[in-house]
Amino acid sequence: MKKKLNKIAKDINLFLLKFLSKQKRTDLIKSMKYGLLPGGKKIRSKLIIDVGKIFNLRYHNLIQIGAAVECIHAYSLIHDDLPCMDNDSLRRGKLSTHKKFGESTAILAGNSLLTIAFEILSEKKFKLDDKTKIKLINLISECSGHSGIAGGQYSDLSFERKKIPLKKVIEMQIKKTGKLFSFCCMAPAIISKKYKYLKKFNKIGSDIGLLFQIADDLLDYSGNTKKAGKKTKKDLKKGKATLISLLGYKNTIKYSNNLKSKIFKNLYVFGKKGTDLKGTINYILERSK
Ligand code: IPE
Ligand code: IPE
Ligand code: MG
Ligand code: MG
Ligand code: MG
């Protein structure tokens, strides 16, 4: 699993470097690359490849979709670290983008990474029909905006130091993290035109995303800053609304194991074809970064 993940990360970075090298050289590129390329796990891209396997899809098209997703993800991290948001100075084992380049540059690099995702998906050279490209762009936009990442981040910040019911916390985590995972799981069904699977993979994706965010919160609680590449033990200080703050550490682990079993049950119908995806889901819970 680790080997496959590293290979995908390498291929995504190569794709992105090539894509950027074809564009005009601007003053923002350095800060964009800094927040985008080194250190990220590229786990969302791995999910696209894993689900792609279920649909017997070609690797290269999936890498292009993964590259777009990683741009949006990197933008969300750059903005997440800003002083007006989580105010974090360490990301992926390095200074966060605003610490390195300044706040205004970080905001603009983030904006540019968001929009470049749409350039990647609409690229002429990308061998998908226009209707499919529009479907992908439509869905990734929805998953990133006010009903996805941005909306979820808004709730995350407004929930700080408040007593929030479990249902609302889960809703917030699905928006800020789960929606982009849903996109990753739905994109292979879209490009295979197997639309009847969309609902199923929407649910599988948001469950995996929720699991991923819970694992991230567990890592914040008990993980190691050096290994994680970002400062840990911050959620408690900030009064973040998490499952841990509501249920405690041990019960959150139980919750995550139950959630994992539920996802595995949903994948049962795909038999052996779902093996890689299951491996990634196991990794999501066991990781230390
Ligand atoms: C961190 O995401 C932010 C969350 C949504 C929890 P990742 O853990 O995927 O971050 P990188 O890309 O590997 O740095
Ligand atoms: C961030 O969640 C989720 C995003 C959509 C960016 P966190 O704030 O927990 O992510 P980390 O812990 O800073 O990576
Ligand atoms: Mg945050
Ligand atoms: Mg954060
Ligand atoms: Mg976190």
Q: Is the CB of 153 under 6 A from ligand 1?
A: no
The pTM assigned to this predicted structure is 0.98
Cβ–Cβ under 8 Å, residues 35 and 78: yes
pLDDT tens figures, 167-200 = 999 999 999 999 999 999 999 999 999 999 999 9
pLDDT tens figures, 79-113 = 999 999 999 999 999 999 999 999 999 999 999 99
Q: Name the residue of 96, 181, 212, 283 whose CB sits within 8 Å of the most ligand 1 atoms, as the mutation to test its pocket.
A: 212
Q: Is the CB of 149 under 6 A from ligand 2?
A: yes
In this structure, the residue with its CA closest to atom 10 of ligand 1 is 40
Q: Is the CB of 144 under 6 A from ligand 2?
A: no
User: Ligand 1 centroid vs 259 CA: distance in angstroms?
Assistant: 19
Look at the chain and count its residues.
289
Compute the distance between CA of residue 22 and CA of residue 15 in angstroms, rounded to an integer: 11
Neighbouring residues of the ion ligand 5, judged by CB less than 5 Å: 216, 220
Euclidean distance between the first and the last CA atom of the chain, given in angstroms as a whole number: 15
Compute the distance between CA of residue 141 and CA of residue 120 in angstroms, rounded to an integer: 13
Q: Is the CB of 86 under 6 A from ligand 2?
A: yes
Nearest ligand 1 atom, CA 229: 14
Q: Is the CB of 174 under 6 A from ligand 1?
A: no
Nearest Cα to Cα of residue 90 among 217, 249, 180, 224: 224
Dihedral of alpha carbons 242, 245, 248, 249, sign: positive
Q: Which ligand is in closest contact with the Cα of 176?
A: 2
Q: Is the CB of 240 under 6 A from ligand 2?
A: no
- Other beta carbons within 10 Å of 156: 23
Q: Is the CB of 177 under 6 A from ligand 1?
A: yes
Nearest ligand 1 atom, CA 213: 6
Question: Which pLDDT belongs to residue 268?
Answer: 96
Which pLDDT tens digits describe the chain residue by residue (289 residues)?
A: 889 999 999 999 999 999 999 999 999 999 999 999 999 999 999 999 999 999 999 899 999 999 999 999 999 999 999 999 999 999 999 999 999 999 999 999 999 999 999 999 999 999 999 999 999 999 999 999 999 999 999 999 999 999 999 999 999 999 999 999 999 999 999 999 999 999 999 999 999 999 999 999 999 999 999 999 999 999 999 999 999 999 999 999 999 999 999 999 999 999 999 999 999 999 999 988 9
User: Ligand 5 centroid vs 220 CA: distance in angstroms?
Assistant: 6
In the chain, pLDDT over 70 holds for what percent of residues? Answer: 100
Place of tokens 């605003």: 98
User: Ligand 4 centroid vs 146 CA: distance in angstroms?
Assistant: 18
No. of helices (H) and no. of strands (E), the chain: 16, 2
Q: Is the CB of 216 under 6 A from ligand 2?
A: yes
Q: Is the CB of 73 under 6 A from ligand 2?
A: no
